[in-house]
Amino acid sequence: MFEELLFGSSTAHTIFILAATIALGTLLGKIKIGGVSLGVTWILFVGIAFGHFGMGLDPQVLGFVKEFGLILFIYSVGMQVGPGFFASLKKNGLKLNALSIGVLLVGILVTCLISVASGTSLVSLTGVMAGAVTNTPALGSAQQTYLDTMGSSEPSIALGYAVAYPLGVIGLILALIVLRRVFRVDPVQEDERLHKEHVIETHDPDRITVEITNPQLDGKRVWEVARLLNRNFVVSRAPCKQLRT
């Protein structure tokens, strides 16, 4: 029974392996060496190790988890950057978009040059490019585009991503450490400076409970009260029946 759970092909086996991979990778991600931790990247390492020892997953369940996980990832990023997105877009929008397009074009150019020089398949190098810049949504887009174009999946895309991703993470960490020491950057001072310049904007709501006793507000809608008070607020619970939304 235990061998079937580890090396079988059932749905229970798939769920168990996924849970074990996430749990073990999260646990290892808490380990710090020299004050640096790879974090959730350990989950990828654990997944590679499990796959090496033959702990495969059901393709249908894997496809669902992959798509659902990508959706959750993108949604979480959106929720994180959402409060300050439009403010930063108005302030540095053109510059940031130009840099993004530039990085993308350079990545595509380098990938094409490596493909021509080494004779490696451009399909495989697409996954390598996504892994080198630790861009998981790019991996999903590349896989979906290939599937829509060719009518079948291509495992080499994910393989190239898995090979390049760890080196991309480690390279990024080493680059930041080198830049920090070369330019003598103090993270605490930089964080304080960014807050003073309002580059990092937080919009934490004030949560209050009020009791309305003014009879002039009876029967008023929330938007009408907001206009009268000249204040923006959100009513999460309104037990008083006189205040209608």
Rounded mean pLDDT for each run of 10 residues along the chain, 245 residues in total: 66 84 90 78 85 80 82 82 71 80 89 90 89 84 86 86 85 85 82 66 67 81 83 70 47
Tell me, what's the pLDDT at 138?
Answer: 85
Return d(Cα 176, Cα 190) in angstroms, integer: 14
Tell me, what's the pLDDT at 238?
Answer: 64
Return d(Cα 130, Cα 99) in angstroms, integer: 17
Query: What does the longest C-alpha to C-alpha distance in the chain come to?
Result: 80
Tell me, what's the pLDDT at 112?
Answer: 92
Angle between helices 41-52 and 155-182 (to 10 degrees): 140
